[in-house]
Amino acid sequence: MNGQTGKIVRFGASLAVLSAVLSACASSPFTPPPVDATSPVAAGAEAAANERGKIPSLASIPAVPTDIPKPGEYKAQVQAEQAAAAKLRRDTAPETFALTDTEGFAARAQRAGRVPPSEIPTVADRAETEAFAKAARGRATPPPSKPQ
């Protein structure tokens, strides 16, 4: 019998807490607060609060879009992204870089950066560039030394 007393007390306490919580919810959170009558926009706010909105009809639901990719297309895009990520990981893995063979690296870089003979400027090209620059300098007028 003594064991039942604790259960009854706990039940009563939980009932009291539940009633306190429910009494706090007695006012509906969906009712708008009263409008301050001293406000200069009180009349407009009251009219806007009482105005009924337009209820949309089922005909106003937009059509289902047709340009949405199919699941197979999503799968192909995901697989392409995963393949690109795997290639990037392979290309930038720690074993792809080494601090040895500096001379070999420099030789490969010089070979890759060598300009083809057709693109090297000749003496005539340099003279033509200098003549153009000299003519441009002659046409240029310096700004006035004093503000006008």
**Does 1 score more than 60 pLDDT?**
no
Q: What is the pLDDT of residues 8-20, one digit of tens each?
A: 888 888 888 887 7
**Rounded-to-integer distance, Cα 53 and Cα 10, Å:** 49
SS3 sequence, 52-103? Answer: CCCCCCHHHCCCCCCCCCCHHHHHHHHHHHHHHHHHHHHHCCHHHCCCCCHH
Amino acid symbol at 65? P
> How much is the pLDDT for 132?
96
> How much is the pLDDT for 81?
97
> Between 114 and 6, where is the model more confident?
114
**Least confidently predicted of 22-31, 102-111, 115-124, 135-144:** 22-31
**Does 78 score more than 90 pLDDT?**
yes
- Listed in sequence order, the residues at least 6 apart from 96 whose beta carbon sits closer than 8 Å to its beta carbon are 90
Q: What is the pLDDT of residues 32-76, one digit of tens each?
A: 677 788 888 888 888 888 888 888 888 888 898 999 999 999 999
Q: Residue 3's pLDDT band (boundaries 50, 70, 90)?
A: low
